[in-house]
Amino acid sequence: MSDFFKGMEPLRHDPEAKGVAFRSYDPDEVLMGKRMEDHLRFAVAYWHSFAWPGGDPFGGQTFERPWFGDTMEAARLKADVAFEMFEILGQPYFCFHDADIRPEGADFAESRRNFEEIIDLFEQKMETSRTRLLWGTANLFSHRRFMAGAATNPDPDVFAWSAATVKTCLEATHRLGGENYVLWGGREGYETLLNTDMGREREQAGRFLNMVVEHARKIGFTGSILIEPKPQEPTKHQYDYDVATIYGFLKDFGLEDEVKVNIEQGHAILAGHSFEHELALARELGIFGSIDMNRNDYQSGWDTDQFPNNVPEVALAYYEVLKAGGFDTGGTNFDARLRRQSLNPEDLIAAHAGAMDVCARGFKAAAAMLEDGVLEEMRHARYAGWEAPEAKAMLTSDLDSIAQRVEAEGINPVPRSGRQEILENIVNHYV
Ligand code: XUL
Ligand code: CO
């Protein structure tokens, strides 16, 4: 037991609480026939909470954590503190990259041994903890060997290293009972087209992803394989730009039934979309998987990975999640970090507790909007004309017969209101 959180007690649901507590989130509250905890499936991101030193482009570390350092002893202390935080928050899941949890070794084999030793420790801790693994992933972007990408690297040795790394991380995820495996294409993209063979890099990425799917099957991993879209940052252009781009890529490599998406709020905004756009599209394409619920600063335009605090935005996002039938293997991962001046252990707890409250409020609003059905009724009414047999028949006919009908029946469209302001007013009643 470390003394990092100084004996802080597990958080309780208390709407009147003065200190840190869940004011809105009650894991046991039942909505639409299911407990809130089982709807929202919150996860803590190991990298931001325990591995991030607080740097920005103008300055380095601001956090001083007793587990910072490149030793196995430090990695074990980090794991102890992580599971102590999970105990305080009571969230059901966590997520990690290999590099978050172990020190880098002198070569691949040493890194793997370090990693597997910490996975053993996680396995032990998970026997008594109620925290489960939402997803595992590989960090194929921080070390300088990945500066020109991982699977898309011009150097086949980096492709090999990346394949070996993903195999190790996928197997560890499987061992811990992880429900998903995520691939965020960290530096899978380019800085300049002048030195880039885009066609070749795309082929490499397609084959790589197929190998991941094949290996998952081979080891009996039944969770979901998820790609996380992001348009740029760190590279100037990333190949996994957004949901639509990923779908095209999956179709091209025959993977549209094998791989889904992990959609991050901040990444959607960077791509020039709203979060709900990305969620709705993934649902319509049948590739919705999971979410990273962290926002960016709208003024700076950077991927600032802040905890969510905008209830109306979150409500619209969960509305789309609920329309997709809710989470299956997915969940709500806080891929979010503290601001670099938030030095105290309590800040880490308060950030997550506040985020869970915001999500709970947004989720409740979304559930109410869906249950009341007004929005769906109005959407349905807008397309009601398509219920007519002659309208349906058009979709299987041809231009000649449609043109004939337009003249024979004197078709002359009457514009109708899209009723946007009324719809927005309705949403505002709920949030
Ligand atoms: C980076 C990002 C990653 C992925 C996991 O912007 O979101 O943390 O979620 O690699
Ligand atoms: Co993310």
Which sequence spans correspond to the domains of the chain? 30-372, 377-430
Give Cβ neighbours of residue 141 (< 8 Å, ≥ 6 apart): 150, 186, 187, 234
**Residue pLDDT, tens place only, 6-45:** 989 999 999 999 999 999 999 999 999 999 999 999 999 9
Looking at residue 27, its pLDDT comes to 98
Looking at residue 7, its pLDDT comes to 84
Looking at residue 53, its pLDDT comes to 98
**Residue pLDDT, tens place only, 296-352:** 998 988 999 999 999 999 999 999 999 999 999 999 999 999 999 999 999 999 999
- CB of 137 within 6 A of ligand 1: the answer is yes
Q: What is the CATH number of domain 30-372?
A: 3.20.20.150
- CB of 184 within 6 A of ligand 1: the answer is yes
- The stretch 348-360 carries a mean pLDDT of 98
Q: Which two tokens stand for residue 107?
A: 């070569």
Q: Name the closest-CA residue to atom 4, ligand 1.
A: 184
Q: Name the closest-CA residue to atom 10, ligand 1.
A: 184
Looking at residue 69, its pLDDT comes to 96
Measured CA distances, 363 to 217, 224, 321, 381, 422 (Å) = 34, 23, 9, 25, 21
Per-residue confidence band for 50, with pLDDT thresholds at 50, 70 and 90: very high
Looking at residue 268, its pLDDT comes to 98
- CB of 240 within 6 A of ligand 1: the answer is no
- Closest by CA to 189, choosing from 221, 222, 153, is 153
37 CB burial (10 A radius; 0-12, 13-18, 19+): middle
Looking at residue 301, its pLDDT comes to 87
| 143 catalytically annotated | no
- CB of 98 within 6 A of ligand 1: the answer is no
The whole-angstrom separation of Cα 283 and Cα 316 is 14
- The stretch 80-85 carries a mean pLDDT of 98
- The stretch 98-104 carries a mean pLDDT of 98
Ligand 1 atom nearest 47 alpha carbon: 8
Looking at residue 1, its pLDDT comes to 83
- The stretch 200-221 carries a mean pLDDT of 98
Per-residue confidence band for 141, with pLDDT thresholds at 50, 70 and 90: very high
With 90 as the cut, is the pLDDT of residue 3 above it?
Answer: yes
Looking at residue 47, its pLDDT comes to 98
- The stretch 397-425 carries a mean pLDDT of 98
Ligand 1 atom nearest 141 alpha carbon: 10
Ligand 1 atom nearest 230 alpha carbon: 6
| 28 catalytically annotated | no
Query: Pick the catalytic residue: 13, 39, 48, 100?
Result: 100
Longest dimension (CA), the chain: 83
- CB of 335 within 6 A of ligand 1: the answer is yes
Q: Which two tokens stand for residue 425?
A: 């007013």
42 alpha carbon to ligand 2 midpoint, in Å?
Answer: 14
Spell out a b/e string for 46-69, using b for 16 or more CB atoms within 10 Å of the CB, else e. Answer: bbbbbbbebeeeeeeeebebebee
184 alpha carbon to ligand 1 midpoint, in Å?
Answer: 6
CA angle 123, 126, 131 (to 5 degrees): 135
Looking at residue 223, its pLDDT comes to 98
- CB of 52 within 6 A of ligand 1: the answer is no
Helix locations, 51-97, DSSP H: 72-89
